[in-house]
């Protein structure tokens, strides 16, 4: 269910259910408010007069929509040339204004201008009977349906039954179907029949958060508009305008914080703004907004990160535990550390980043200080580890334990030697085989053949190996994977890739399975288009055979699931290449060897951090940047 607020005014009989979520929006100031705040504005003003900001300032024209320029341009060209599609599909993240946009399009198509003689226009007048009726959700020819609550074929049949009748009063009969991806297969088929031969007087506007779930047969008959995520600064400007209109005095830094927390969703930010104004009673300070957003612990995150990166692991764990005891969510804390790492990296590259208005003075100073202490490879390494760790924490049975392990990993990794030492080491090691000197999982053989150079670090190894190995256990012996069940979905893929007979299945698994849920012995997934029909039964049979365990593999059509392993791999590869090129050592090599380029940042499949297991030394280089052109060294 998205765009609740846009449905807020909906009283059309087609969407009775849309009102339920809307209530949440109106109650939110109370729900999210710290106990001590004064009565929200909503209670001071007579109920009937108070409108949540998102509703009050809902855009009525394309001009008022923020960040959707390209769509407006395309639509305006289509209107001018009279080449209008019969169906439009609007896609974008939740809260971005899809249903609002759909209604503006409906107005644009049906507007007759103040004098009643106008044509369809990109600038609906807002005063003609159609414009007004659409804005008030009472236009007889504009029918809205929420597919999230009415997914069946009968619902669609009922809706499109009227398609053959001419509109009662307007130019076009317009069907707005929200969350269209929720329709059942047969409902889509019913819809498709109409889309194939639509009457001249009918237009469809679909809105969806998940465009991939819409059958291609339907999509191909629609003009598609991707509503992009609104940039933080655009949002901040927008909120400032509204705050001014509301005569609310809000510090710019506070607005920037709200915009950042909105994360691209205009509506989410609006409701935060609403809250902030209610709490502020006159003047809204940055500190109030921080508290409201739960950012008051920000300095704790700095401490946590700082201590971890200094290798003061006991202190870091204590801090983590204290935050956890106070109700902190381990995944959120890691997410915060991830954000911090990203920000520190940017500060490192360009100190201007620290002047972002969303950053407090204390943070600014501490940020610059920490960024100065850490080398770029440490930061990129920390980013990778936290990103990976965050995933693990989300699926771990005990998130706090997972978070602790990640901090420990990070602390060990932080001890890697500076790049200068590594270059020396590199020179010494050049004539050697190229394998990391440390023992361990022996998984280095995963890469393909071909001339290449592995940059190795052995510098911190001795120190690290004198310690207990925090990373060793899970990946210690991939060969024994037959004896125990794969811990992760990626390990299942790895297991299947090992045998010639099951390679085809491994490929299916990597390319066509969107993982919804995994636990050893149990897989729930959504098949991608092109998946074999018997994929789950084949998987069960094969995995039962390979592991001697009874597997349960189920298909979930409802859940989106994770990107396929293949998609993840590609994304990661790009990220690694980007990270690698930032690394001073790699950069030095790239500069020194004009022919060299990064062809791969190699990790054995399914073993991301595993290589790190041999590298408690913390060397980012054990993640092995392979470069071409080594023979020139």
Which of the residues 190 through 219 are near Zn ion (CB under 5 A)?
none
- Which listed residue (111, 270, 304, 493) binds Zn ion by CB under 5 A? 111
Nearer to Zn ion, 125 or 593 (CB): 125
Q: Which of residues 65-104 bind Zn ion (CB under 5 A)?
A: none
What's the min distance (Å) between Cβ of 11 and Zn ion?
A: 21
Minimal distance, residue 124 CB to Zn ion, in Å: 5
- Region from 106-114, 156-164, 436-444, 445-453 binding Zn ion, contact rule CB under 5 A: 106-114
Q: Which residue, 131 or 535, has its beta carbon nearer to Zn ion?
A: 131
Report the chain's terminal Cα–Cα distance, integer Å.
59
Q: Are 130 and 112 in contact (CB under 8 A)?
A: yes
Residue nearer to Zn ion on the CB measure, 133 or 359:
133
Minimum gap (Å) between residue 111 Cβ and Zn ion: 3
Half-sphere exposure of 352 (CA within 13 A, CB side): 1
Shortest Cβ 117–Zn ion spacing (Å): 11
CB 62 within 8 A of CB 16: no
Q: How far apart are CA 493 and CA 89, in angstroms?
A: 36
Tell me how far, at minimum, the Cβ of 168 lies from Zn ion, in Å.
17
With beta carbons less than 8 A apart as the criterion, state whether 503 and 495 touch: no
Q: For 141-201, where are the alpha helices, taking DSSP H only?
A: 153-160, 185-196
Which CB sits closer to Zn ion, 113 or 442? 113
> Shortest Cβ distance from residue 102 to Zn ion (Å)?
16
- Shortest approach of Zn ion to residue 167 CB, angstroms? 15
Backbone angles phi, psi at 145, to 5 degrees: -135, 140
How far does CA 77 lie from the centroid of its chain?
Answer: 32
Nearer to Zn ion, 125 or 387 (CB): 125
Q: Which is nearer to Zn ion, 111 or 382 (CB)?
A: 111
Cβ pair 503, 496 in contact under 8 A: yes
What is the x/- site pattern for Zn ion, positions 240-279, by CB under 5 A? ----------------------------------------
Instruction: Work out how close the CB of 406 gets to Zn ion at its nearest, in angstroms, rounded to a whole number.
Output: 57
Sheet holding 453-454, edge to edge: 453-454, 625-627, 598-601
Stretch binding Zn ion (CB under 5 A), from 125-133, 224-232, 263-271, 361-369: 125-133
Distance of closest approach, residue 139 Cβ to Zn ion, in angstroms: 11
Give the interface size with Zn ion as a residue count (CB under 5 A).
5
Judged by beta carbon, residue 58 or residue 409, the one nearer Zn ion is: 58
Beta-carbon contacts of residue 203 (< 8 Å; ≥ 6 apart)? 84, 86, 87, 88, 106, 109, 172, 173, 174, 175
Q: Which is nearer to Zn ion, 101 or 536 (CB)?
A: 101
What φ, ψ does residue 454 adopt, rounded to 5°? -105, 125
Q: In this complex, which beta carbon is closest to Zn ion, that of residue 44 or of residue 136? A: 136
Please, which residues have CB within 8 angstroms of residue 440's CB and are 6 or more apart in sequence? Answer: 472, 476, 613, 614
128 binds Zn ion (CB under 5 A): yes
3-state secondary structure at position 527: strand
Contact segment (CB under 5 A) with Zn ion among 121-129, 352-360, 495-503, 605-613 equals 121-129
42-50, 129-137, 596-604, 614-622 -> range binding Zn ion (CB under 5 A): 129-137
In the chain, what are the helix, strand and coil shares in percent, each to the nearest 5? Answer: 55, 10, 35
For residue 48, what are the CA distances in angstroms to 17, 51, 205, 243, 451? 22, 8, 31, 21, 74
Residue 241 beta carbon to Zn ion: minimum distance, rounded to whole angstroms: 24
Residue (120 or 371) nearer to Zn ion, CB: 120
Q: Give the binding range for Zn ion (CB under 5 A) out of 98-106, 119-127, 255-263, 425-433.
A: 119-127
- Quote the least distance from Cβ 133 to Zn ion, whole Å: 10
Dist CA 92 CA 209 (whole Å): 5
Residue (of 411, 392, 422, 344) closest to 625 by Cα position: 422
> Among residues 110 and 547, whose Cβ is nearest to Zn ion?
110
Residues that bind Zn ion (CB under 5 A): 111, 124-125, 128, 131
């Amino acid at each position: 269910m998205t765009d609740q607020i846009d449905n807020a005014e909906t009283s059309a009989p087609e969407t009775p259910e849309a009102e339920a979520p809307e209530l949440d929006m109106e109650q939110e100031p109370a729900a999210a408010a710290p106990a001590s705040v004064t009565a929200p504005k909503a209670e001071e003003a007579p109920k009937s007069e108070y409108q949540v900001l998102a509703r009050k300032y809902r855009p009525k024209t394309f001009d008022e929509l923020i960040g959707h320029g390209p769509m407006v341009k395309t639509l305006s060209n289509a209107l001018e040339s009279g080449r209008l599609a019969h169906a439009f599909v609007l896609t974008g993240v939740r809260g971005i204004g899809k249903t609002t946009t759909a209604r503006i399009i409906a107005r644009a198509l049906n507007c007759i201008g103040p004098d009643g003689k106008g044509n369809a226009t990109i600038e609906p007048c807002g005063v003609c009977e159609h414009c007004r009726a659409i804005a008030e959700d009472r236009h007889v020819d504009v029918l809205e349906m929420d597919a999230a609550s009415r997914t069946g074929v009968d619902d669609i049949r009922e809706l499109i039954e009227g398609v053959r009748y001419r509109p009662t009063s307007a130019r076009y009969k317009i069907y707005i179907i929200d969350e269209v991806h929720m329709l059942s297969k047969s409902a889509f088929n019913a819809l498709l029949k109409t889309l194939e031969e639509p009457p001249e007087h009918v237009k469809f506007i679909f809105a969806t958060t998940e465009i991939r779930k819409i059958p291609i047969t339907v999509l191909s008959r629609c003009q598609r508009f991707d509503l992009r995520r609104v940039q933080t600064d655009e949002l901040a400007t927008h909120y400032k305008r509204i705050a001014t209109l509301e005569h609310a005095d809000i510090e710019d830094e506070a607005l920037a914080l709200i915009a950042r927390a909105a994360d691209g969703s205009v509506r989410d930010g609006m409701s935060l703004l609403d809250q902030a104004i209610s709490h502020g009673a006159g003047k809204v300070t940055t500190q109030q907004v921080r508290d409201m957003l739960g950012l008051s612990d920000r300095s704790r995150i700095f401490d946590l990160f700082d201590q971890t990166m200094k290798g003061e692991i006991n202190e870091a764990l204590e801090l983590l535990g204290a935050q956890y005891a106070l109700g902190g969510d381990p995944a959120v804390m890691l997410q915060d550390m991830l954000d911090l790492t990203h920000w520190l990296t940017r500060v490192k590259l360009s100190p201007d980043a620290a002047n972002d208005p969303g950053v407090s003075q204390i943070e600014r100073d501490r940020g610059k200080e920490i960024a100065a202490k850490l080398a770029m490879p440490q930061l990129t390494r920390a980013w990778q580890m936290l990103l990976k760790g965050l995933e693990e924490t989300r699926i771990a049975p005990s998130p706090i334990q997972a978070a602790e392990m990640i901090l420990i990993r990070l602390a060990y990794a932080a001890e890697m030697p500076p790049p200068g030492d590594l270059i020396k080491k590199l020179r010494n090691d050049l004539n050697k085989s190229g394998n990391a000197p440390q023992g361990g999982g022996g998984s280095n053989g995963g890469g393909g053949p071909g001339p290449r150079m592995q940059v190795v670090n052995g510098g911190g190894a001795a120190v690290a190996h004198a310690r207990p190995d925090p990373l060793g256990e899970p990946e210690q012996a991939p060969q024994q994977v037959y004896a125990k069940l794969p811990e992760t979905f990626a390990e299942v893929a790895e297991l299947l890739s090992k045998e010639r007979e099951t390679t085809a299945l491994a490929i299916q698994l990597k390319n066509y399975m969107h993982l919804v849920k995994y636990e050893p012995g149990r897989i729930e997934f959504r098949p991608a288009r092109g998946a074999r029909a018997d994929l789950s039964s084949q998987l069960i049979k094969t995995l039962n055979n390979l592991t001697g365990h009874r597997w349960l593999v189920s298909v979930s059509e409802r859940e989106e699931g994770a990107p396929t392993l293949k998609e993840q791999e590609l994304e990661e590869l790009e990220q690694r290449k980007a990270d690698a090129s930032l690394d001073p050592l790699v950069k030095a090599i790239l500069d020194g060897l004009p022919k060299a380029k990064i062809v791969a940042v190699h990790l054995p499949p399914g073993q991301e951090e595993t290589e790190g297991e041999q590298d408690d030394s913390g060397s980012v280089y054990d993640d092995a940047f392979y470069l071409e052109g080594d023979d020139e060294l």
